[in-house]
Structure 1
Amino acid sequence: MFAKLKEKLGSFKKKIGETIDQKAETKSSAEGVPQETSEKGGREPAKEKKKKKTGIVTKAKTLILEREIVLDENDLEEPLWDLEMALLESDVALPVAESIIDAIKEELVGVHRKIKADTTDIVETALRNALLSVMTKEMFDFDEFIAGAPKPVNIAFVGVNGTGKTTTIAKVAARLRGNGHSVVIASGDTFRAGATEQIEKHAERLGVKLIKHQYGGDPAAVVYDAVQHATAQHRDVVLADTAGRLHTNVNLMDQLRKMCRVAPPDLVIFVDEAVAGNDAVERAREFNEVVPIGGNILTKVDMDSKGGAAISIAHVTGKPVLFLGIGQSYEDLKKFDAEWYVDQLF
Structure 2
Amino acid sequence: MFESLKKKFSRTSDKLEEELIEEAQEENNLEEESGKKFSFFSFGKKDKKEEDDFESDVAEIPQEVESIHEEAEETSDDKDEKSGFWSFGKKSDDDNKEPLEEEESAEEIQEEEEPKKSHFWSRNKEEDAEESEEADEKTEEKKSRFWSRSNDEDSEEDEEDEPGGMFSFITAKTISEKHLEDILWELEMGLLEGDVAMEVASAVVDSVKDDLVGRKIKRSNDITEYTYNALRNAVAEIIDIPGKSMTEMIEAKKAQGEPLVVMFVGINGTGKTTTIGKLANYYLKKGYTPVIAAADTFRAGAIEQVNYHADNVGVKLIKHQKGSDPAAVAFDAVEHAKAQGKELVLIDTAGRMQTNTNLMDEMKKIKRVAKPDLVVFVGDALTGNDATHQASKFNEAIDIDGVILTKADADSKGGASLSIGYVIKKPILFLGMGQGYDDIREYDADWMLNQLFSESGEEVTVDEV
The TM-score with structure 1 as length reference comes to: 0.86
Shift of 1:92: 0.1
Query: Taking structure 1 as reference, are residues 228 and 106 closer, same or farther at Cα in structure 2, changes over 3 Å only?
Result: same
State the partner residue of 1:187. Answer: 294
Q: 1:86 aligns with which of 177, 182, 190?
A: 190
The equivalent of 1:173 in structure 2 is 280
Relative to 1, partners in 2 of residues 1:93 and 1:162: Cα closer, same or farther, differing over 3 Å? same
% same residue? 49
Distance 1:73 1:264, change over 3 A: same
- In structure 1, C-alpha distance between the alignment counterparts of 2:246 and 2:28, rounded to whole Å: 53
Contact (CA 8 Å) 1:17, 1:123: kept in 2 or not? no
Aligned to 1:206: 313
| Separation (CA, whole Å) in 1 of partners of 2:28 and 2:286 | 60
Task: Please report how far the alpha carbon of residue 28 of structure 1 lies from its aligned counterpart in structure 2 after TM superposition.
Answer: 7.0
How far, CA to CA, are the matches of 1:69 and 1:215 in structure 2?
Answer: 71
Inter-partner Cα distance in structure 2 for 1:336 and 1:152: 22
1:102-117 matches, within 5 Å, as 102-115=206-219, 117=221
* Counterpart among 105, 121, 125 of residue 229 in structure 2: 125
One-letter code aligned to 1:207: G
Residue 73 (1) aligns with residue 177 (2)? yes
- Cα distance between partner residues in 2 of 1:73 and 1:203: 57
Equivalent residue number for residue 19 of structure 2:
19
Q: Distance in 1 between matches of 2:425 and 2:229?
A: 24
Aligned mates of 2:26, 2:370 — CA distance in 1: 68
Tell me which residue corresponds to 1:47. Answer: none
Structure 2: distance between partners of 1:147 and 1:156: 18
Q: How big is the shift at 1:19?
A: 2.9
Q: 1:155 aligns with which of 254, 257, 262?
A: 262
Q: Deviations over 1:139-191 (max 9, x none)?
A: 43232222223421100000000100000011111111111111010011111
Letter of the structure 2 residue corresponding to residue 83 of structure 1? L
Mapping of 1:293-308 within 5 angstroms?
Answer: 293-308=400-415
1:314 to 421, 435, 453: 421
1:316-335 map, 5 Å: 316-335=423-442
Q: 1:222 to 1:140 in 2, by over 3 A?
A: same
Pick the structure with greater CA Rg: 2
Shift of 1:22: 4.2
Query: Which residue identity does 1:141 align to in structure 2?
Result: S
Q: Do the aligned partners of 1:297 and 1:325 also contact (CA within 8 Å) in 2?
A: yes
| Superposition deviation, residue 334 in structure 1 | 1.9
Q: Which letter maps to 2:408?
A: V
Give 4+ residue runs of structure 1 displaced > 6 Å after superposition.
none
3-state DSSP class of the match of 1:161?
coil
In structure 2, the CA distance between the partners of 1:174 and 1:66, relative to structure 1 (3 Å rule), is: farther
- Tell me how far apart the structure 2 counterparts of residues 155 and 334 of structure 1 sit (CA, whole Å): 17
Is residue 240 of structure 1 aligned with residue 347 of structure 2?
A: yes
Match of 1:259 in 2: 366
Which runs of 5 or more structure 2 residues have no equivalent in the other structure?
Answer: 32-167, 454-465
Equivalent residues of 2:24, 2:169 under 8 A apart:
no
Q: Secondary structure at the match of 1:269?
A: strand
CA distance in 1, matches of 2:452, 2:30: 37
Distance 1:14 1:270 in 2: 38
Q: Is contact 1:23-1:69 (8 Å) kept?
A: no
User: Partners in 2 of 1:319 and 1:29 — Cα distance?
Assistant: 49
Equivalent residues of 2:293, 2:348 under 8 A apart: yes
Letter in 2 for 1:284: A
Distance of 1:286 and 1:21 partners within structure 2: 47
Conservation of the 8 A alpha-carbon contact between 1:90 and 1:307: yes
Q: Is the 8 Å Cα contact of residues 9 and 345 (structure 1) preserved in structure 2?
A: no
Partner deviation per Cα, 1:274-331 (whole Å, 9 max, x = no partner): 0110000000000000111111011111222211101000011100111111100011
Q: CA RMSD in A?
A: 1.9
Question: Where does residue 148 of structure 2 map in the other structure?
Answer: none
Question: Deviations for 1:6-61, whole angstroms, at most 9, x for unmatched residues?
Answer: 22222112112323444566667289xxxxxxxxxxxxxxxxxxxxxxxxxxxxxx
Alpha-carbon distance in structure 2 between the residues aligned to 1:116 and 1:80? 19
> What amino acid maps onto 1:344 in structure 2?
Q
CA shift for structure 1 position 201: 1.0
1:101 and 2:202 equivalent? no
More helix by share: 2
State how far apart, in whole Å, the 2-side matches of 1:340 and 1:148 are. Answer: 25
Answer yes or no: is the 8 Å Cα contact 2:17–2:220 preserved in 1: no
